[in-house]
Structure formats: structure tokens, C-alpha cells
Amino acid sequence: RERGLPVSVYRVDVISGDQVNGACQTRDFVWLTLKGLVQSGAVPSGSGGRFHLLPVDYVSGAITALSALPASDGGTFHLFNQSSLSLADCVRRLRDLGYGLRDLDHGS
């Protein structure tokens, strides 16, 4: 932009799997965190945090639609999911699926 190029910026939350087939990038922070919990069989106490996930097909559709609008040239767009998924919800779901995740105190 500073050099006169017509650049639009799309800032996106964490991109998750496709809404139809679930295809996703498995080597990002969210999935590697969950994989680490499963592999260790434990969850550190006080593990908080929330994930604002956006399905990849939603993100690609939004960027395609926005970029087709003449008024969007040079704009900055924030694609953000107001709903979030807590790490505690993920842990509960993993336990429901049969993963034996024990709680670890900080001194353990």
C-alpha cells in the first residue's frame, strides 16, 4: 500500500476444517495442542483458552466474495467468529470419545 500497490488485507482467526468433509491442516497450533494432550494422556490444570475457529470453506468464500466487490479494493477485512470453543470443551469431548486424559497439577 505504501508503494501504491492496490492491496487488500484479510485478517483471519484460526482456520479450521471444511464444514462438509472436515478436511483441514493438521499441523497448526489447535490440532497440535489437542494431539499433544492425547499423546501425553494428561491436561495441565488451569488450562484455559478459547479458540475462535472459522471453517476453511467459509473463509475462502468470504475472501472471494469480498474481493469481487469494487469497493473492497485496498480495504482491510477482519474475518472473526464471535463464538468460541474452549479448551475445556475440547477436553470434555476427547474424554467422551474415550481418551483417558488425567488432570495434572502444576507440581506433578
Helix-helix angle 87-96:29-40, to 10 degrees: 50
**Which residues, including other chains, have CB under 8 Å from residue 61's CB and lie 6 or more apart?**
none
pLDDT (mean) for 28-57: 92
pTM of the model: 0.79
pLDDT digits (tens, 9 = 90+) for 53-77: 999 999 999 999 999 998 888 899 9
Displacement of CA 79 from its chain's centroid (Å): 12
